[in-house]
Amino acid sequence: MKIAMVSAHASPLAEPGSPAAGGRNVHVAALSAALVRAGHQVTVYTRRDDPHIRTEVVTREGYLVVHVPAGPPKPLPRDQILRHLGEFGTFLRRHWSLYPVDMVHAHFWISALAAELAAREHRLPVIVSFHGLGTVVRRHEGLADTSPRSRIRFERLIALRAAHVLASCSEEAAELARMGLPRLRASIVPGGVDPAAFTGDGSAASTGARHRLLAVGRLSRRKGFELAVRALAELPGTELVIAGSAVGDALDDDAEGRRLRRIASEYGVQERFRLLGPVSHIGMPRLYRSADVVLCTPQYEPFGLVPLEAMACRRPVVATAVGGMLDTVVDGVTGRLVASPDPDGIARAVRPLLEDRTLRETWGAAGDDRARSRYGWDRIAAATLHAYHRVAPERAAKVVAPAR
Ligand code: UDP
């Protein structure tokens, strides 16, 4: 089948961990690659944000990336893309006239809006992965929510119009049901992990004599790194390193980076706390392997690839009981889910792991098993294809040459 992946903002070619790229970029890239391995043709449509980049790029994995001219060819904050969606949708409509596709899969609500406008004329089924919902953002961020005001209203319309919605976790499926989407119109298809790249075997980044706690993600308040810094005060002999870029500015000037450093000083743990900045995606397994425990303590999390990557690297995960972690982390088996997100609770969950190497190894091995048996990208691609088949069996069954 010929699949059009629409990811207006998250390019699969962007380096994860950089200010503008994270889990969604990894998801679109890895899912597209896995669908190609399963014998399908995949074209990813993403907004051109660099004047020098080629319009079409064939990736090593065999999928095509089309850079869609919509708005100025420079990086734009996600929330400013809405105004260029008309252009984006018109391009898709014309492109699909010239190069017909069988199935459209849109990632994030903005892409879904453009995809549904363009797909209508061609009578194409549109599958939507929201990767997070505006209702959840509004609930947690309140006035600090920078999403366009129309987001929540549009997401409801998009969900109801879509041929099918792929929820990233049980919590998102429940939220969609609350928005009025009949449960049968959504399936849970989570994010995945590359089992060949993320393994417990291989070298680890060097560490000192202290136990190491690792947290990963862009420096945004929602990631809850503050909790990890404050928990450090209750965990002597332990260091905390955080990998990920500042959101926008250089690390030293970044407001969240400065705030975290200030909290570290207030709690007297600045000597044991380090912001690494962005780490190349290829370097992430070595970093996970250097950790005794991986902390994932966001306030909310649409899915969260980091806990899965940590598990595949055989590391126990201590996580807040939110979003995708409720599905991926099994409390008392692969890590700990902390129900009340406070520094004490996190320190209490971490301490027994630091004191007991066997416990770390046992939970790490269980995490590895779980990540490998349930979350490899080939398996996620199979679940995605199952949803495509359910929506349009005759289209999904089409056989095509693997690459254009
Ligand atoms: N990542 C990376 N380098 C960094 C920080 C993060 O490669 O310095 C990657 C990380 O390995 C993961 C992704 O960025 O694949 C973050 O995904 P997640 O879903 O956890 O968070 P999001 O970015 O979607 O908020």
Which CATH number covers residue 171? 3.40.50.2000
Of all protein residues, the one whose alpha carbon is nearest to atom 21 of ligand 1 is 23
> Does 313 contact ligand 1 (Cβ within 6 A)?
no
Average pLDDT rounded to a whole number, residues 160-181: 98
| 173 and 278 inside one domain | no
> Does 105 contact ligand 1 (Cβ within 6 A)?
no
% of the chain surpassing 90 pLDDT? 86
Question: Nearest CA to 34 among 154, 193, 236?
Answer: 193
Binned at pLDDT 50, 70 and 90, residue 403 comes out as low
Q: Above 90 in pLDDT, residue 320?
A: yes
Q: Above 70 in pLDDT, residue 127?
A: yes
In a domain, 263, yes or no: yes
Average pLDDT rounded to a whole number, residues 111-129: 97
Task: Give residue 80's pLDDT.
Answer: 84
| 218 and 90 inside one domain | no
Give the domain range for residue 271: 211-374
- Cα angle 347, 192, 185 (rounded to 5 degrees) comes to 110
Average pLDDT rounded to a whole number, residues 291-304: 97
- Mean per-residue pLDDT of the chain: 94
Q: Above 90 in pLDDT, residue 288?
A: yes
Average pLDDT rounded to a whole number, residues 133-143: 94
| 8 and 66 inside one domain | yes
> Does 132 contact ligand 1 (Cβ within 6 A)?
no
Looking at ligand 1, which atom is closest to the CA of residue 303? 19
> Does 30 contact ligand 1 (Cβ within 6 A)?
no
Looking at ligand 1, which atom is closest to the CA of residue 298? 25
Number of domains in the chain: 2
> Does 323 contact ligand 1 (Cβ within 6 A)?
no
Average pLDDT rounded to a whole number, residues 240-268: 85
| 127 and 256 inside one domain | no
Looking at ligand 1, which atom is closest to the CA of residue 281? 7
% of the chain surpassing 70 pLDDT? 98
Q: In what side-by-side order are the strands of the sheet with 56-58?
A: 56-58, 64-68, 41-47, 2-6, 103-107, 126-129, 164-167, 186-188
| 28 and 168 inside one domain | yes
Q: Above 70 in pLDDT, residue 317?
A: yes
Ligand 1 centre to CA of 95 (Å) is 31
> Does 309 contact ligand 1 (Cβ within 6 A)?
yes
Ligand 1 centre to CA of 26 (Å) is 8
In a domain, 206, yes or no: no
Q: Above 80 in pLDDT, residue 280?
A: yes
Looking at ligand 1, which atom is closest to the CA of residue 22? 23
Ligand 1 centre to CA of 307 (Å) is 10
Q: Residues 43, 44, 47, 52: is their CA dihedral positive or negative? A: negative
> Does 26 contact ligand 1 (Cβ within 6 A)?
yes
Position with higher pLDDT, 115 vs 249: 115
Task: Give residue 247's pLDDT.
Answer: 72
Task: Give residue 238's pLDDT.
Answer: 98
Task: Give residue 250's pLDDT.
Answer: 56
CA 161 to chain centre: 24
Task: Give residue 398's pLDDT.
Answer: 83
| 253 and 188 inside one domain | no
> Does 307 contact ligand 1 (Cβ within 6 A)?
no
Q: Above 70 in pLDDT, residue 249?
A: no
Of all protein residues, the one whose alpha carbon is nearest to atom 17 of ligand 1 is 23
Identify the weakest region by mean pLDDT among 14-23, 79-88, 128-137, 160-169: 14-23
> Does 305 contact ligand 1 (Cβ within 6 A)?
yes
CA 245 to chain centre: 15
In a domain, 261, yes or no: yes
Ligand 1 centre to CA of 284 (Å) is 9
Retrieve residue 38's tokens: 């399963």
CA 2 to chain centre: 24
Ligand 1 centre to CA of 214 (Å) is 13
Average pLDDT rounded to a whole number, residues 196-213: 95
> Does 14 contact ligand 1 (Cβ within 6 A)?
no
| 135 and 22 inside one domain | yes
Task: Give residue 47's pLDDT.
Answer: 97
Average pLDDT rounded to a whole number, residues 239-261: 82
Of all protein residues, the one whose alpha carbon is nearest to atom 23 of ligand 1 is 22
| 304 and 355 inside one domain | yes
Task: Give residue 388's pLDDT.
Answer: 97
Binned at pLDDT 50, 70 and 90, residue 255 comes out as confident
| 80 and 15 inside one domain | yes
In a domain, 403, yes or no: no
Average pLDDT rounded to a whole number, residues 349-359: 98
| 270 and 324 inside one domain | yes
Q: Above 70 in pLDDT, residue 157?
A: yes
Ligand 1 centre to CA of 17 (Å) is 5
Of all protein residues, the one whose alpha carbon is nearest to atom 1 of ligand 1 is 17
Contacts of 211 by beta carbon, 8 Å cutoff, 6+ apart: 235, 237, 238, 239, 292, 293, 354
Looking at ligand 1, which atom is closest to the CA of residue 220? 25
Q: Above 70 in pLDDT, residue 402?
A: no
Question: For the whole model, what pTM was predicted?
Answer: 0.96
| 300 and 165 inside one domain | no
Binned at pLDDT 50, 70 and 90, residue 251 comes out as low
Give me the phi and psi of 293, to 5 degrees please.
-140, 140
